[in-house]
């Protein structure tokens, strides 16, 4: 699908694109020309490439899913950016970071946005809609400002993803301190995988926007560079947050292991106390459980009528003394 807008201050025209001649007419129309391409066919790609002198490698990068980047050509600048979103699965921690590339081809008075998706990309559609509705300052600026708005909307999604990840980490930390469970480790590993996938997007994205912010590129006016610098600052903050959240996941994993280890130690301590109490009791019953015969004279206690109650009382006293000692020592 190919659609085009030609706009200027107080004027927006929508052009119907049916063939290459329509593309050429939209390009040479006075004002700023924005051509949006979604899930193009091979014929549409050839038409776009010929109308705007796009290199085949640029198109391949958009459709090939390479890392975000910026390249300068003779008459335009190519920027590849990516949107991100968390896709939830069937289980609690079954999720993955889904990326979507957007190709921005930026000329002196024209902009081509290309996505390899059948559905409209919200990041592009929102800015497109603001142009159609003549909202904000976008009509007063050139195509570089429209490209900035698209990139800025994509970066806003990065903050949304980090907010979701931060809430997940906070929930896992609270669960670890209250009811540690083996599923929490699975959740932490899932978060770490998401952050790793996100890091592979945001780092090259920062480099690409930094190139746009430094200027000296075809189609990027000096007046627009400050807007790209603002996006670059946001990306620096996002990179720092990503590293912080990675540290938090490592810290949460250490907390989980410490909590599990402490719980195991508590169990072992209780078992040790029980075993220590039964050691003297086992000794007593072992001694008096020996078979010395019915009329054994070397163990007079066997013939004493109060021998059994005395042994029971003695064993009870030993147990009580040990319990009092353990409590005073703080072991129970």
Give tens-digit pLDDT for 203-261: 999 999 998 888 778 888 888 889 999 999 999 999 999 999 888 888 888 777 777 77
Which of helix, strand or coil describes residue 46?
A: helix
Averaged pLDDT, 73-87:
88
Instruction: Output the six-digit token pair for 96.
Output: 């993955």
What CATH topology corresponds to 267-328? Methane Monooxygenase Hydroxylase; Chain G, domain 1 (1.20.58)
Region of poorest pLDDT, from 74-88, 248-262, 287-301: 287-301
Instruction: Output the six-digit token pair for 259.
Output: 């909590």
Please tell me the distance from the alpha carbon of residue 6 to that of residue 132, in angstroms, as a whole number. Answer: 10
For the chain, the C-alpha Rg in angstroms (whole number) is: 36
pLDDT score at 231 = 93
- The answer to whether the beta carbons of residues 48 and 23 sit under 8 Å apart is yes
Above 60 in pLDDT, residue 118? no
Instruction: Output the six-digit token pair for 121.
Output: 């990309």
Indicate the average pLDDT of the chain.
83
State the pLDDT confidence band at 293, using cuts at 50, 70 and 90. low
Please tell me the distance from the alpha carbon of residue 263 to that of residue 270, in angstroms, as a whole number. Answer: 11
CA distances from 273 to 53, 71, 102, 284 (A): 82, 71, 66, 18
Beta-carbon contacts of residue 79 (< 8 Å; ≥ 6 apart): 68, 69, 70, 103, 104, 106, 147, 151, 208, 212
- Please state the domain extents for the chain: 2-260, 267-328
Region of poorest pLDDT, from 27-31, 90-94, 150-154, 192-196: 90-94
Instruction: Give the CATH class of 2-260.
Output: alpha beta
Which of helix, strand or coil describes residue 302?
A: helix
Above 80 in pLDDT, residue 266? no
């Amino acid at each position: 699908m190919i659609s085009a807008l030609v706009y200027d201050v107080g004027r927006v025209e929508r052009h119907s694109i049916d063939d290459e001649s329509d593309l050429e007419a939209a390009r040479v129309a006075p004002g700023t020309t924005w051509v949006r391409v979604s899930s193009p066919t091979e014929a549409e790609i050839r038409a776009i490439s010929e109308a705007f002198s796009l290199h085949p490698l640029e198109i391949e990068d958009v459709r090939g899913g390479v890392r975000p980047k910026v390249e300068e050509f003779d008459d335009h600048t190519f920027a590849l950016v990516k949107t991100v979103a968390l896709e939830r699965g069937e289980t609690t921690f079954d999720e993955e970071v889904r990326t979507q590339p957007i190709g921005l081809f930026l000329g002196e008075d024209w902009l081509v946005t290309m996505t390899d998706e059948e559905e409209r990309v919200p990041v592009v559609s929102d800015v497109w809609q603001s142009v159609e509705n003549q909202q904000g300052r976008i009509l007063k600026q050139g195509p570089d400002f429209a490209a900035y708005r698209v990139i800025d909307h994509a970066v806003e999604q990065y903050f949304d993803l980090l907010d979701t990840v931060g809430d997940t980490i906070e929930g896992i930390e609270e669960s670890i301190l209250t009811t540690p469970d083996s599923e929490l480790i699975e959740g932490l590993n899932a978060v770490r995988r998401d952050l790793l996938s996100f890091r592979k997007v945001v780092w090259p994205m920062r480099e690409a926007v930094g190139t746009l912010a430094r200027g000296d590129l075809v189609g990027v006016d000096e007046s627009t560079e400050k807007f790209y610098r603002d996006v670059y600052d946001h990306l620096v903050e996002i990179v720092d947050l990503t590293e912080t959240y990675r540290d938090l996941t490592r810290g949460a994993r250490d907390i989980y292991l410490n909590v599990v280890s402490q719980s195991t130690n508590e169990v072992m301590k209780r078992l040790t106390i029980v075993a220590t109490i039964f050691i003297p009791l086992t000794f007593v019953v072992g001694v008096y459980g020996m078979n010395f015969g019915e009329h054994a004279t070397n163990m007079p206690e066997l013939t004493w009528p109060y021998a059994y109650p005395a042994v029971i009382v003695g064993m009870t006293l030993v147990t009580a003394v040990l319990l009092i000692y353990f409590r005073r020592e703080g072991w129970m």
